[in-house]
Amino acid sequence: MTITIFHNPACGTSRNVLELIRNSGAEPRIIEYLKTPPGRAELVDLIDRMGIPARDLLRRKGTPYDELGLDNPLLTDDDLIDAMMARPILINRPIVVTPLGAALCRPSETVLDLLPSPQRGAFARENGEKIVDEAGKRIV
């Protein structure tokens, strides 16, 4: 069973998702997408597997989104994918792929729907908010 996370270790949500995966007993394949961005075909495949338009994968905060005018409704999915290929920081994260599907895991507890194995114990986000109780059951 392979679980893959497109991860940014500087992102709290991404770190929380990684730890939720590990809390299920799995050790995922970690792709630091800013160092090793997906190729165009892989990015298109991820978007298709998630069932979202390319626009929904764009990250705005801390990126050149506004200066590039990416809010222009006339831009096509291909245009937006071109922008993400040129500047991987525009790809929102974390993206998780498991045998159960693929999703942009924001908020972090979204990953729980993708994990084949249950949580092994309690889990709280870095900010202290409990997501999983001691019995491994989702709280949020």
The residues annotated with a catalytic role in the active site are 11
Cα–Cα distance measured from residue 81 to residue 100, given in angstroms and rounded to the nearest whole number: 25
Contact 92, 103 (CB under 8 A): no
Burial profile 99-125: b = 16 or more Cβ within 10 angstroms, e = fewer: eeebbbbbebbbbbebbeeebeeebeb
**Residue closest to 119 by CA, chosen among 105, 103, 101, 134:** 134
List the alpha helices (DSSP H) in 1-140.
Answer: 12-23, 40-50, 77-86
User: Facing residues of 124 across strands?
Assistant: 130
